[in-house]
Amino acid sequence: MGTKMYKLVVLDLDGTLLTTDKKITDRTKKVIWHLAAQGVIIALASGRTMSGIRGVIDELSLKSESLYVIACNGAQVWSESTQHFIANQCLSVDDVRFIRQWGRLIGMACYTQHAGELVVEDNRDIPLNARRYSRLGIHVTTDTLLLNMPAPKVMFIEDQFSIDLLAQQVPADIIKRYQCVRSEPHYYEVMAMGVNKGEACRILAAYLGIASVNILALGNELNDCEMLRYAGKGIAMGNASEVVQRCADDITASNDEEGVAKAITRFCLN
């Protein structure tokens, strides 16, 4: 199946498009440029916020009409050509406040993001371990307006063992009320109910008038599973866990072995 089959290619970033050292290889860029030149639309899908994705957008240097972005695990769908959100589903002030209260109860810091920084409550009883796992600056504050602003997601950023425990002990009132996902080994994220990359793909596909059978998606983490299932062809990276690979139709090489370039060449350009 070539480019006539796939009209939209959706790429996760960390662990998929990006290598372990957060690079895009020259070969991968050339393959993506070739694909876009043939009229295929590219969507970048990430747990990152828009500001965290902007560097990747700039590096790819695609024409704006060829590029869309799914940010914050699907809470936001962005059109690069119109510079507007197609969808933007945020947690309310009450939601953010409720999740922060849960964080205090379990002794874990809750982070939102504002102006390119992680925003966290000033609480001396709770350690701020995000410094070990995030490149973003941390804004520690007691400003309740800033802490509880509407946000596309709330994050817990801890060591892998702590996130393992958290994922196993989320209370029923959180699970029933919100969409929770582990986006990376050190990240556990909470969004509005129904928010995920698969639903964001459906919204984008409807906007573009593209059927799911004409979508190819690549990912490696648990937050990619709905997207891999929704796409006509879902491809898991070689570095993905067995759980994620079982969600996919096929498996490519790892992110450090140019798995994205190999999959696009195999399914779209041959």
3-class DSSP assignment, residue 84: strand
- pLDDT tens-digit profile of 208-238? 999 999 999 999 999 999 999 999 999 999 9
Q: Tell me how long the chain is.
A: 270
- Domain ranges, ordered by start, for the chain: 8-89+195-269, 93-192
Inter-CA distances, 139 with 49, 110, 114, 146, Å: 16, 12, 9, 10
Inter-CA distances, 3 with 8, 39, 85, 264, Å: 9, 8, 27, 10
Residue 132 confidence (pLDDT) above 80: yes
Q: What is the mean pLDDT of residues 169-190?
A: 94
Q: What is the mean pLDDT of residues 240-268?
A: 98
Residue 2 confidence (pLDDT) above 70: no
pTM of the model: 0.93
Q: Give me the pLDDT at residue 270, please.
A: 80
What distance in Å separates the CA atoms of residue 146 and residue 114, rounded to the nearest whole number? Answer: 8
Q: State the fold for domain 93-192.
A: 3.30.1240
3-class DSSP assignment, residue 16: coil
Superfamily of the domain at 8-89+195-269: HAD superfamily/HAD-like (3.40.50.1000)
Cβ atoms < 10 Å from Cβ of 237: 28
Residue 3 confidence (pLDDT) above 70: no
Which strands form 154-157's sheet, in the order they lie side by side? 154-157, 187-192, 178-184
